[in-house]
Amino acid sequence: MNILHIDSAITGEASVSRKLTADIVAKLTAANPDATVTYRDLNQGVPAIDTDWFKAVRLAPTDPTPEQQKLIEISDAYLAEVQAADVLVIGMPIYNFTLTAQLKNWLDQIARAGKSFRYTEAGPEGLLKGKRAIIAYSAAGTPMGSEMDHASDYIRFMLGFLGITDVDFVAADRLAMDREAGLARAQDALEKLAA
């Protein structure tokens, strides 16, 4: 089993989502001792896609400039990690009712026509099939699945668009209202999670 462990919280050691992803990975590796883990901390910076990225990555020039080649290599590296993974463990703290900018940038980097999805006569088809994703959702005041939550449906949709339809959530939400109850809900979900 190849596990891709992704964190995106800006709060360092105080992060609930980082603790949850670590606990999820620990559960997976305990059940699968031969598993390999690739770690990516998106808080270290994920370039946003822009016009330069579009010209380099999307238009794929036959003779890219050194600057374009660097943009291509960065995007290819993110995508290769996902392609090699059997399980993605993604930390998704909620800031201002949605996922972090870093996590959105990462999704934009890996959503690449012809590589992670393709267009067919029947519509788009995800090319990253056969993978599982476990999302560690943490929020101070945004209940998962509520009208205020603009993250969980989005990430489920985006992963599904890329072909990853086996998606589970471990949620520690409403932490500002009742931290202990929120953490208890997450622990319960973690214990029920198949490893």
Task: Give the residue numbers of the binding site for FMN.
Answer: 15-17
- Angle in degrees, CA 104, 78, 97, rounded to 5: 15
Point out which residues pair with 6 in neighbouring strands. Answer: 40, 90
Question: DSSP assignment, residue 183?
Answer: H
Point out which residues pair with 77 in neighbouring strands. Answer: none
> What's the CA gap between 28 and 3, in Å, rounded?
9
Q: Judge whether 24 and 32 are in contact, CB under 8 Å.
A: no
Binding positions are: 15-17
Indicate the Cα dihedral angle 138, 142, 143, 149, nearest 10°.
-100
DSSP per-residue codes, 102-156? HHHHHHHHH--BTTTEEEETTEEEES-TT-EEEEEEE-SS--TTSTT--SHHHHH
Residue of 118, 124, 190 lying closest to 157 (CA atoms)? 124
Give the three-state DSSP class for 19.
helix
Place of tokens 């997976």: 28
